[in-house]
């Protein structure tokens, strides 16, 4: 029993009581959150299997090749683009018994332990509730007082490091100030400015980029047997997050997208009352609201694009409706509608009441069509229910 880990408790709950991930219990969680970039199957976790992060992989490979891997790294970017998978691939490469160049063999005992989440020197810390708490970092410090259990390097992966509260951040800073021998600490965060400057300055920063639409669509076609049209539509909406695209229920999602786009396409034909009911329905599901607003943005972008470069339309399966809407609206009117959706996204991000924000948006979308011209001349606005 080392580092304060009590095996029975850990194995039963998957955590050591301080939110520290138990290696033996990571098996099922390992590939769920950020497994997108691994296209060849969940048992492959090498640099070569990571999609769309060539620059990050090149930097890390160079460090590995020259045996100059720094002791602390921070991987930044949105969820689902391969930060965690890369951190684990790096842990695997560092400990592989049969490494060729910078490539782990994927088969030796050490590689298998990392893949199954059972490597005692690959420790993953995740938030417990909304935050990574002081107790978790204290528990980690306790473990780091001992040498690695196996011969290789110890790798600590702190997921969502931006969720460390002030106390946890200060405790982490102490670890970074006196890094233990043969230990590498990898933080993942949305952006480097979300971390304490004193923490960020002690880590080498590697940015992970959103994955191109075409690459995500290819993976969706290969792994989820989606048709090209569905895969592309899903790839666009997930904004570069392969993890999100892979975890989405494509059929359910496409049916819902159809519903949102049909409603937004018919916004000028619906009564204010009907639009308010639509606003209420959208506001009632916070989990999908962000996506719905993104869908509307792509819709009005397409309506605008249709006037200039119709070949660049994203929602190709709605081409006829988009062409119709484009003929009905002037460029100014479309820009007003785009601004209305954008203002709603900002308002909701700033914690405005979603239903009220959406109702205002619906009025702006409808007015833009029927009264756009008279509005610009300062005429009074009348809305029929």
CA angle 25, 95, 126 (to 5 degrees): 35
Other Cβ atoms less than 10 A from the Cβ of 274: the count is 16
Calpha distance 365→144 (Å, rounded) = 57
**Smallest separation, CB 155 to Zn ion (Å):** 14
Binding segment (CB under 5 A) for Zn ion, from list 6-14, 55-63, 104-112, 225-233: 104-112
- Quick one: 44 or 375, whose CB is closer to Zn ion? 44
Is there binding between residue 111 and Zn ion (CB under 5 A)?
yes
* Contact range with Zn ion by CB under 5 A, out of 111-119, 134-142, 306-314, 360-368: 111-119
Which residue in the block uniquely carries the two structure tokens 């970017």? Answer: 77
One-letter-per-residue 3-state SS of 365-379: HHHHHHCHHHHHCCC
Q: Are 189 and 160 in contact (CB under 8 A)?
A: yes
Tokens of 12: 């039963």
CA distance 224 to 230: 11
Q: Which stretch binds Zn ion (CB under 5 A): 101-109, 135-143, 246-254, 314-322?
A: 101-109
Decide if 282 contacts 292 (C-beta within 8 A).
Answer: yes
- Candidates 105, 173, 221, 347; binder of Zn ion (CB under 5 A) is 105
Q: Which two tokens stand for residue 185?
A: 């600490």
| Cβ closest to Zn ion, residue 30 vs residue 322 | 30
The 285-314 site mask, x for binding Zn ion (CB under 5 A), equals ------------------------------
What is the DSSP code string of 46-106? SGGG--S-HHHHHHHHHHHHTT---SEEEEES-TTSSHHHHHHHHHHHHH-TT-BTTB--S
CB of 153 to Zn ion, least distance (A): 13
Query: Does an H or E element contain 273, and which?
Result: helix 272-283
Cα three-residue angle 135-138-139, rounded to 5 degrees: 85
Q: Which of residues 57-96 bind Zn ion (CB under 5 A)?
A: 96
Taking the least distance from each CB to Zn ion, the nearer of 44 and 266 is 44
Nearest CB to Zn ion, comparing residues 105 and 176: 105
9 or 151: whose CB is closer to Zn ion? 151
Return the number of the residue (154 or 263) whose C-beta is nearest Zn ion. 154
C-beta of residue 207 within 8 angstroms of C-beta of residue 185? no
- Contact at 8 Å (CB) between 33 and 79? yes
Query: Total number of residues binding Zn ion (CB under 5 A)?
Result: 5
Q: Point out which span in 41-49, 99-107, 200-208, 284-292 binds Zn ion (CB under 5 A).
A: 99-107
Cβ contact 221:235 at 8 Å = no
Which is nearer to Zn ion, 105 or 196 (by Cβ)?
Answer: 105
From 39-47, 103-111, 127-135, 239-247, span contacting Zn ion (CB under 5 A): 103-111
Shortest reach from residue 97's CB to Zn ion, in Å: 5
Among residues 96 and 231, whose Cβ is nearest to Zn ion? 96
CB of 99 to Zn ion, least distance (A): 6
Instruction: Give the distance, in angstroms, between the CA of residue 31 and the centroid of all CA atoms in the same chain.
Output: 14
Q: In this chain, which stretch among 97-105, 242-250, 271-279, 329-337 interacts with Zn ion, using CB under 5 A?
A: 97-105
- List residues near Zn ion by CB under 5 A: 96, 104-105, 108, 111
């Amino acid at each position: 029993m080392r580092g304060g880990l009590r095996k029975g408790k850990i194995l039963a709950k998957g955590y050591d009581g301080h939110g520290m991930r138990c290696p033996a219990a990571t098996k099922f969680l390992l590939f769920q959150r950020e497994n997108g970039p691994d296209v060849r199957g969940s048992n492959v976790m090498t640099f070569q299997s990571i999609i769309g992060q060539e620059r990050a992989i090149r930097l890390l490979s160079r460090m590995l090749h020259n045996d100059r891997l720094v002791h602390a790294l921070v991987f930044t970017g949105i969820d689902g683009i391969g930060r965690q998978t890369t951190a684990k691939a790096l842990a695997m490469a560092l400990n592989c018994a049969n490494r060729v160049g910078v490539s782990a063999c994927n088969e030796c005992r050490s590689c298998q332990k990392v893949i199954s989440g059972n490597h005692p020197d690959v420790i993953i810390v995740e938030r417990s509730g909304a935050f990574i708490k002081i107790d978790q970092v204290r528990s980690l410090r306790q473990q780091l007082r001992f040498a690695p259990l196996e011969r290789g390097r110890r790798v600590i992966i702190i997921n969502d490091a931006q969720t460390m509260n002030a106390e946890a951040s200060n405790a982490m800073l102490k670890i970074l100030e006196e890094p233990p021998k043969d230990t590498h600490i990898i933080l993942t965060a949305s952006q480097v400015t979300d971390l304490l400057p004193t923490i960020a300055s002690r880590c080498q920063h590697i940015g992970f980029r959103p994955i191109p639409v075409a690459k995500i669509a290819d993976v969706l076609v290969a792994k989820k047997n989606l048709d090209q049209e569905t895969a592309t539509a899903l790839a666009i909406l997930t904004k570069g997050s392969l993890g999100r695209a892979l975890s989405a229920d494509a059929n359910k999602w496409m049916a819902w997208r159809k519903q949102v786009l049909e409603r937004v396409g018919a916004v000028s034909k619906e009564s204010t009352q009907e639009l308010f009911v639509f606003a209420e329905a959208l506001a009632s599901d916070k989990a999908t609201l962000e996506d719905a607003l993104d869908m509307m943005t792509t819709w009005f972008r397409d309506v605008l694009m249709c006037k200039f470069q119709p070949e660049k339309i994203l929602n190709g399966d709605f081409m006829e409706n988009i062409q119709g809407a484009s003929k009905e609206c002037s460029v100014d009117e479309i820009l007003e509608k785009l601004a209305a959706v954008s203002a709603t996204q900002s308002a909701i991000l700033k914690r405005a009441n979603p239903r009220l924000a959406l109702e205002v948006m619906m009025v702006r979308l409808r007015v833009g069509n029927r009264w756009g011209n008279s509005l610009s001349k300062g005429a009074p606005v009348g809305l029929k229910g």
